[in-house]
Amino acid sequence: MAKGAHSKADAVYGELKKAILTGALEPGSLIEKAELCEKFGVSRYPVSAAVSRLAYDQLVVVAPQHGSFVSRISLHDVRERLFIRSALEGEIAAEAARRMTRADKDALGANLKEAKAAVAANDRASFYATDVAFHQILTSRLTMARAGEVLDGLRVHLERVRRILMSPPGRIREVLAEHHAVVAAIEAGDAHAARDAMKRHLNVTGDLLETVARQRPGLFAA
């Protein structure tokens, strides 16, 4: 593939991936290649190359003779990844309560202030970014690079469902309150309370998943 074709395919891939992860293209949606060619001002080849990459990422399903569709979210995979996340992040929160420094705790406090501003503005995109940062602060400040890599890998696969689960009215405000509970336990140096607060936070996500799966079954693959 020529260099120009590479860059065009990369641009289409990036835009499509963003649309899928943010929910602008919902699971099950048909990917209209002709419309994409017109939108990006490219030939069919860069679009097909981008779709093939997304299929490799398991974000798109290519059905011969039928077209390409945004893949539905696997409930089994999400449940397993949430289980791993809860177990690992609960212990990380406990460890944070044991050994985070004042500067580390201040970083968490600054994150909560940013999140509060996003809630006040009802800015879901900004709030989502602060949510990701909140969990990353815990591993980075504790210099848990390997744990951070594991959690970042889980987040990539959970991003679509996490955005969906933050969409109900009032949910981002609830998430902020759950984060405050984790930080309060860390501030108190109470490892048991920090572990429990983090697990409660992530268990709410699991419960919401089951509710949304019942309400919007078309988004999910059993």
110 and 148 fall within a common domain? yes
Q: What global pTM score does this model have?
A: 0.83
- Here the CATH number for the domain that contains residue 161 is 1.20.120.530
Per-residue confidence (pLDDT) for residue 167, from 0 to 100: 87
Examine the domain organization and report whether 25 and 43 are in the same domain: yes
Through-space distance between the first and last CA atoms of the chain, rounded to whole angstroms: 38
Residue 154 lies in domain: 74-221
Give the residue from 71, 88, 119 where a domain finishes. Answer: 71
CA distances, 20 to each of 11, 28, 54, 101, 146 (Å): 14, 10, 10, 39, 28
Please identify, among 15, 46, 71, the residue that sits at the C-terminal boundary of a domain: 71
Token code pair at residue 96: 């944070």
Are residue 161 and residue 89 in the same domain, yes or no? yes
| Judgement on whether residues 97 and 31 belong to the same structural domain of the protein | no
Mark whether 143 and 194 lie in a shared domain: yes
Question: Residue 51 maps to which CATH number?
Answer: 1.10.10.10
**67 shares its domain with 80:** no
pLDDT tens sequence for the chain (222 residues): 445 556 888 989 999 998 898 888 889 999 998 998 998 889 999 999 999 999 998 899 998 888 899 999 999 999 999 999 999 999 999 999 999 999 999 999 999 999 999 999 999 999 999 999 999 999 999 999 999 999 999 988 898 898 889 888 899 999 999 999 999 999 999 999 999 999 999 999 999 999 999 999 999 986
pLDDT in the model for residue 66: 85
Are residues 212 and 105 both part of a single domain?
yes
Between strands 60-63 and 67-70, the pairing is antiparallel
Answer yes or no: do 124 and 50 share one domain. Answer: no
- 168 within 8 A of 205, measured Cβ to Cβ: no
The answer on 94 and 66 residing in a single domain is no
Last residue of a domain, one of 46, 71, 96: 71
H-helix or E-strand spanning residue 146: helix 145-165
